[in-house]
Amino acid sequence: MDTYHQNDVLLFYSGNEGPIESFYENTGFIFELAKELQALVVFGEHRYYGDSLPYGPNKTFEPTVNMRYLNVEQALADYAVLVQEIKTMFHIKKAIVIGGSYGGLLAAWSRFKYPNIFDGALAASAPFYVTAKMILPTAFFGKVTKVDHLKGWVRNSFTSLAMVDYPYPASFLAPLPAYPVKLACGILFIDCADPTGCGTGLASLSWDYQACTEMNLVCTTNNVTDMFPPSTYDVTDYCYSRWGIPKDRRNEDWIALNYWAQDMSAGSNIIFSNGDLDPWSVGGILRDLSETLTAIVISGGAHHLDLRASDPRDPPSVTEARREETAIIKKWISEQ
């Protein structure tokens, strides 16, 4: 918890699928905003990630009994209870929830579900229409393919690795460990219910479980609209063998129904920001849905770039996006 706390405002970061320290260190905008608003800042860690393991590191990931309390509904309730306690403790009148990617989904969903606790939300790079199964499953990797330089970079990287696949560390083309191809392939090809990647460490287990139970992340490739070998990626067998979850227990339709993805227009006080370089923007909100549901598209912006700290190398578009976000949040705070 950090504070510039002189006013009765809370900026709450809704933690993502990983240790909260990573998001704390990469969300500098929230501190810049807090300084301007003289607000209290709190980062909430998502249950089953980081140090928030209910049964400890050895038993938490035993399928499925100990994992059953890992879901969106419980995470949102955690944040609501925590923020309500903080509001009482510090005499907070206005609470704004901020998050990026999955944390951005949680930020908007917190505002949808608990408008009595959260006065507004900034949801950066949040792929609402992906998790709600409202776009083609090929859209994500089609967007990745449009980054032309990436194709050459990947090709050249594998070429270089193959050339210097020595049995000992060397620095001929770059500092590399022994047998770099084996190491790289071991990192690349990890079984996971999320074809875009589950990450590494214990957090990868929690995210894998969520991808198997309720987070729809089926992104397929066809080698026509994208540069990857065709893959339909049916996770049903994998999820059953890994977590003991049968097909009829996958609640992937629940997200769309429970969190308004099919019609968000009844909500209010949410900013949806997306960078046009971000593959996840294909599933993001790219146009205003109402006067209080504002979409900001950042030209030249990558995955929730607007949440990072200001930098002299920032494109003007993200600087302007932060200005607009600040102005909107100030308006929410000023409203009675």
Give the DSSP H/E element, type plus range, for residue 10.
Answer: strand 9-14
Residue 164 binned pLDDT confidence (cut-offs 50, 70, 90): confident
Query: 237 CB contacts (<8 Å, ≥6 apart)?
Result: none
Q: Residue 163 corresponds to which tokens in the numbers above? A: 């050339």
322 near 119, Cβ under 8 Å? no
Mind listing the pLDDT tens digit for each residue in 96-128?
Answer: 999 999 999 999 999 999 999 999 999 999 999
Based on the residue annotation, tell me whether 278 is a catalytic residue of this protein.
yes
The C-alpha atoms of residue 212 and residue 104 are separated, in whole angstroms, by 20
In CATH terms, the superfamily for domain 2-133+253-334 is Alpha/Beta hydrolase fold, catalytic domain (3.40.50.1820)
pLDDT, one tens digit per residue, over 33-90 is 999 999 999 999 999 999 999 999 989 998 778 999 999 999 999 999 999 999 999 9
Is omega for the bond preceding 131 within 30 degrees of 0, making it cis? no
Q: What pLDDT score does 330 carry?
A: 97
Amino acid code (one letter) for 256: A
Q: Which of 27, 52, 116, 45 is nearest to 80 (CA)?
A: 116
Q: Which of 8, 165, 276, 303 is catalytic?
A: 303
Cα 265 → chain centroid: 22
Give the integer Cα–Cα distance in Å for 195 and 191.
9
Q: 291: pLDDT confidence band, cut at 50, 70 and 90?
A: very high
Domain ranges of the chain: 2-133+253-334, 139-249
Mapped onto helix, strand or coil, the DSSP state of residue 75 is helix
Look up 268 and say whether it is catalytic.
no
* Catalytic annotation present for 304: no
Q: Which residues pair with 40 in a beta bridge?
A: 3, 10
Which H/E stretch holds residue 12? Answer: strand 9-14
DSSP 40-57: EEEEEPPTTSTT--TTHH
- Catalytic pick among 208, 226, 278, 306: 278
Question: Mean pLDDT: which of 243-247, 294-298, 332-336 is highest?
Answer: 294-298
Task: List all residues 6 or more positions away from 26 whose beta carbon is below 8 Å from its beta carbon.
Answer: 307, 308
> Per-residue pLDDT averaged across 243-266, rounded?
82
Q: What is the pLDDT of residues 127-146, one digit of tens each?
A: 999 888 888 788 888 888 77
Which of the residues 14, 46, 101, 110 is marked catalytic? 101
